A = this chain, B = another copy of it.
Amino acid sequence: MSGFSRFTPLVNALPSTIPFVGPEAIERQRATKVKARIGANESGFGPAPSVLEAIARAAGDTWMYNDPENFELREALALHHGVSRDNIAIGGGIDGLLGEIVRLVVEPGAAVVTSLGGYPTFNYHVNGYGGRLVTVPYVNDREDLDGLLAAARGEDAPLVYLANPDNPMGSWWDADSVVAFARALPERSLLVLDEAYCETAPAGSTPAIEALIGQPNVLRMRTFSKAYGLAGARIGYAIGTIGNAQAFDKIRNHFGMARISTAAALAALADQAYLRDVVGRIAAARDRVAQIATQNGLRPLPSATNFVAIDCGGDGAHARAIVDGLMEHGVFIRMPGVAPLNRCIRVSVGPEAEMALLEEVLPKVLRTAGSNR
């Protein structure tokens, strides 16, 4: 049945493509059950036991809307980061916040700078508001800071995206380079610094909060979806100047946050001992993934995240064959979308059962996929 005749021209021009197909959809399409869910950079280690207790305590309150000001969570995050509550904006994961930032900044036709092969959901939102993507190729599997800077200047771009550590490659820059990049950007260009994976990054790779907190053209994004193990809760936050954090209040869905999710995030933040522990387990599992790759003749890339990009030594079709072949064995992974990154597969780390299944089936898959190489 047809739709309404008068959606906006922008909406009518949008494709129906979506940023990612979920593992559930793949299960349905292929009638295969996922046994190792290591494709969406979730944390199979899960949230802290204290978080599960907080969820149980909050369940009975779910008849109430969440506080639209997110006061307690912003207060806790402010204490955690040593900033004011007014420097923090809460949103439905970084994905949700990215949509809001694009809406705040991007008018139809505006240039938006990102890396070629960078986070697809950011691109989805830019397209959704009619922005014009200007993409800068990776250099040595890292986002190219000089190239991004030149593009931002050359295009007078109102918005620039950088993920540090990067997804999908797992690479990173040291904090000083990121700060220098942010300070070199024209003040007419807003930097979205996506730090979804900062908790698992090496020391010295994440700028101190105070290094950029006073800069009106920087917004830093954090999430409870990765190391904290709460992807399904959909809680992310932005850190920026008070003016920037408050800008979200003009457009966000004030009653949009789930109450149990907010309680879970509060508990997760309070349990830094668990975070330290799980970050150690993530690091060990990264080594495990790298070892599995190496023993199969593949080259694992260094990673600052909870996943490992693995260079499979072929082209995109070869990597795709491996992704598809693994799924036939119930191992769900993903891969970068564009060349030359798409010579790699991307494996999220997880508990040993998932790692063991990967170790078991990867050689079988490579024997078949080898013919496509």
Which residues of A come within 8 Å of B, CB atoms? 1-8, 11, 14-16, 18-22, 24-25, 28, 37, 40, 42-47, 52, 55-56, 59-69, 71, 92-93, 95-96, 99, 103-107, 121, 128, 158, 187-188, 190, 214, 216-217, 225, 229-234, 241-244, 246-247, 249-251, 253-261, 264
Contact = CB atoms under 8 A, between A and B. Distances in A.
A63 B231 contact: yes
A125 to B, nearest CB: 8
Contacts of A217: 4-5
Given A4-B244, A158-B6, A232 B63 contact: yes
Contacts of A259: 232-233
A187 to B, nearest CB: 6
A7 B253 contact: no
A7 B102 CA distance: 10
A47 B260 CA distance: 14
A55 B264 CA distance: 13
A308 to B, nearest CB: 18
Contact of A256 (B43, B214, B234): B234
Contact of A52 (B1, B43, B52, B59): B59
A69 B28 CA distance: 11
Chain A to chain B: the 8 pairs with minimum beta-carbon distance, closest first: A3-B243, A232-B259, A1-B241, A24-B67, A62-B232, A258-B258, A14-B250, A22-B68
Contact of A3 (B61, B103, B246): B246
Nearest to A225: B65
B71 A24 contact: yes
Given A22-B68, A67-B24, A62 B264 contact: yes
A54 to B, nearest CB: 10
Nearest to A241: B1
